[in-house]
Homo-oligomer: A and B are copies of this chain.
């Protein structure tokens, strides 16, 4: 495969659009924010936008398209929402009915696209600060858990917060908090530090999404609000039609992670 580290986000999106890239986007275009996608019919868009407004930590909205539009004006000008993500999933009434590398044939005039921030953005800042991302070291997906922390419901959408966990050495915990607190538009500061049971997680070795990782002596589990939360809330309401990105297959935006700092 081409070495893509020197390609711009627009160039990578072009390769994705032409079907040359269908893999997960992790590691592509370092420094640029990647985004989760949720596409809903207009009649559910208000409830979803309100859910995000009421739960900004797990649901940091980067941009909302105009109704029916496949364009993004702010975070990825020139992108085609229906073609520039390597893999999509379509759900009907809560059941996955297909995976596609292009959903332009399924597009409708009543669809609204929500682009939601992703922890890839703050991970690069943590790494920059000298903090190891254990799941990267172990070659795994980040461990994610459904907590007992209820989200504020909005209309048809409700559910508990999903968190991602990273083991952090005690002497780096404060740094991990301050580094991520400075980026409120992608999840911000942790929601919990320490005992998993305090937020309803019984066993760290049993993840709800992603893979478990090792925690070494002298390390504490630190939990951040996770962008899987809104997808989880959407699925629970079983909408008649929804398009999302496939896990790990994100939209690569033109926005630098550093520009997401508050």
A contact set with B: CB distance below 8 Å:
42, 45-46, 49-50, 52-54, 61, 64, 67, 73-74, 152, 155, 181, 184, 188, 262
Name the one of B42, B46, B54, B184 contacting A45, with C-beta atoms under 8 angstroms. Answer: B46
* Min distance, Cβ A110 to any Cβ of chain B, angstroms: 12
Name the one of B42, B54, B181, B262 contacting A64, with C-beta atoms under 8 angstroms. Answer: B54
* Min distance, Cβ A39 to any Cβ of chain B, angstroms: 15
* Min distance, Cβ A58 to any Cβ of chain B, angstroms: 16
> In the bound complex, what is the Cα–Cα distance between A45 and B50 (angstroms)?
10
Q: Which residues of B contact A155 (CB under 8 A)?
A: 67
Q: Which residues of B contact A45 (CB under 8 A)?
A: 46
Closest to A182 in B: B262
Residue among A52, A64, A155 with most chain B CB within 10 A: A64
> In the bound complex, what is the Cα–Cα distance between A54 and B65 (angstroms)?
10
List, sorted by A's number, 5 A–B pairs whose CB atoms are closer than 8 Å: A46-B49, A50-B64, A53-B53, A54-B64, A262-B262
Q: Which residues of B contact A188 (CB under 8 A)?
A: 262
Closest to A67 in B: B155
> In the bound complex, what is the Cα–Cα distance between A49 and B73 (angstroms)?
18
* Min distance, Cβ A5 to any Cβ of chain B, angstroms: 32
* Min distance, Cβ A215 to any Cβ of chain B, angstroms: 30
